[in-house]
Amino acid sequence: MSMKDRHFLLCLVMLWPFGYALGEEQEGWDMLMDAGKSSLLVIDVQENLAPVVAEPRLVLRHCGLLLRAAARLAVPVTISEQYPKGLGPTMGELLALAPQGAVVEKMHFSSAAEPAILSRLQGFSRPQVVVAGMEAHVCVLQTCLGLKSLGFDVFVVADSCSSRKQANHDLAMARLAAAGVAVVSTEMVVFEWLEVAGTPSFKDLIQLVK
């Protein structure tokens, strides 16, 4: 598939959850991400996994931007670690940005099936969950579908996710879109959380986006 074709497919994927592709309206769906209604979930960006996925440095940079934006805008954060004895801890550059107590170990592929993580997300009392991490077709996919089934509004950040094979990432994004999960980009998250230009938060974060 050519790059042009992939970009076209991604546009369709992003539009599908909002009903544009099917000409339907989504009932009860907050169309925009709201910092006051969101929490951020970063999945399994770990030392023995991150180096082998596609474009790991890009994913790390984007996840770092999301964590910085969350900190600046008071968005609560959860960082999952899948079996850290085998996959290692969260990458150090992200761990340095993690709020105290944000890292939670898991064994289930789906964070929605891990009691400690689900309890944390529910405890935030925020209906929107913005999801990033790896691998897109395993833990990210299962987490997003699980959270959606539990009534959360789920936004998966396509360019902050990765898999070992790009094809698996692309299939995961398409499947999530078809299931009604909103597929978004890192910059969409940041600018929708910001809402308005000219604020101190905008001036801080725009330097990281450039």
Catalytic residue set: 44, 106, 139
Parallel, antiparallel, or unpaired: how do β-strands 153-162 and 182-184 relate?
Answer: parallel
Query: Residue 26 burial (CB < 10 Å; 0-12/13-18/19+)?
Result: middle
Alpha-carbon torsion (43, 66, 30, 9), positive or negative: negative
Nearest Cα neighbor of 27 from 189, 180, 193 is 180
